[in-house]
Amino acid sequence: MYFPSIRDKWITGVVWSVSLLGILFPLLKGQVVTTLIMLGLSGFLLWFWFRTGYKIEENKIKIYYGPIRQTVHIPEIKLIMISKMPINSPALSFKRIQISCGKYDVVAVSPQDREKFISTLLDIRPEIPIDEQLLPRKTR
């Protein structure tokens, strides 16, 4: 099942403004080469905006963040909790879930349907330690 990322309005504004203005300014000045370079850079930036999401299949969470791919093995998850840390992560929102897995790995995600995301993980592995605030309403 695929879960797209939440997109905060301010992050959306920044990404789209930088992308459009980066193309528009050189275009209006007649700088064709700069416009082409900025078109490529804007496309790369928008790739993150359009392609950030999380796919749960079998025993894995596949994380898509633009051209970056990461896999979290559900049996290796040690803890899931709420996180609002502004660290670099595959999330387009500060409304994040932090997943601790492996020995030192931590990844923060921001699925649109957080309750269904957690519920799907619990269906696969019910004993995952989860922050009380994240538990689906029916299991609280």
Domain count, the chain: 1
For residue 139, tell me if it sits in a domain. no
- Residue pLDDT, tens place only, 61-74: 999 999 999 999 99
For residue 116, tell me if it sits in a domain. yes
Q: How far apart are CA 27 and CA 127, in angstroms?
A: 56
Q: How far apart are CA 107 and CA 39, in angstroms?
A: 30
Q: How far apart are CA 9 and CA 15, in angstroms?
A: 10
For residue 50, tell me if it sits in a domain. yes
CATH number at residue 86: 2.30.29.30
- Residue pLDDT, tens place only, 79-99: 999 887 776 677 888 888 999
For residue 35, tell me if it sits in a domain. yes
- Tokens 């403004």 correspond to what residue? 17
pLDDT reported for residue 138: 57
Q: Is the pTM of the predicted complex or chain greater than 0.85? A: no
Which structural domain, as residue segments, surrounds residue 71? Answer: 1-132
